[in-house]
Amino acid sequence: MHKLLLLAILAITINANPISSKVLNLVKQNEGYSKYLYYDVSGYSIGYGTNLANGLSKGEAELLLKYRLNVVYKQLTKYEWFLAQSPNRKIALIDLTYNLGLPKLLHFKVFLWRLKNGYFHGAANALKDSIWYRQVGKRAKKIYSLIYKG
């Protein structure tokens, strides 16, 4: 969430609202930056004073999701085994990595070995045998199907 203000600025820029760099810099100086959630007099805030008392709008949440999915995609493109996958398997791997985080995904050694070596049914079954599969319900079935069928 520490990029929330940056995403909000991006949204403002996209909508062509005239926010000058002077305004941006003044607010940044006055608010200060916090990577972590903190409590102030108006409720919980993060970043450069982005108040979260009323939560996030769907638009803000979608901007954040798109940003984070792009980060995940860039992380995965560093791996040949990801680049070699079909479009549907890439979609599944992006979702899986978004859900787990890359470090945890890399601990799925049997799954990844089978995926790298083209044993897609076995890779899908390795996911099915995991604790993750039992924890995430419908999501797991969708990912299983994308890996299995490609």
| Residue with more model confidence, 50 or 123 | 123
User: How does residue 41 score in pLDDT terms, banded at 50, 70 and 90?
Assistant: confident
Nearest 5°: the CA angle 15, 20, 23 is 115
90 phi/psi in degrees, rounded to 5: -60, -45
Average pLDDT over residues 12-32: 78
User: How does residue 1 score in pLDDT terms, banded at 50, 70 and 90?
Assistant: very low
Average pLDDT over residues 106-122: 98
Q: Write out the residue limits of the CATH 1.10.530.40 domain(s) in the chain.
A: 65-149
Strands in 43-47's sheet, in edge-to-edge order, are 34-40, 43-47, 50-51
Q: Which fold has domain 65-149?
A: Lysozyme (1.10.530)
Model pLDDT, residue 86: 97
Asked if pLDDT for residue 2 goes beyond 80, the answer is no
Model pLDDT, residue 11: 58
List, in sequence order, the alpha helices (H) in the chain: 4-14, 21-31, 58-76, 80-83, 87-100, 102-105, 109-116, 120-128, 131-136, 138-149
pTM, two decimals, is: 0.79
Average pLDDT, the chain: 90
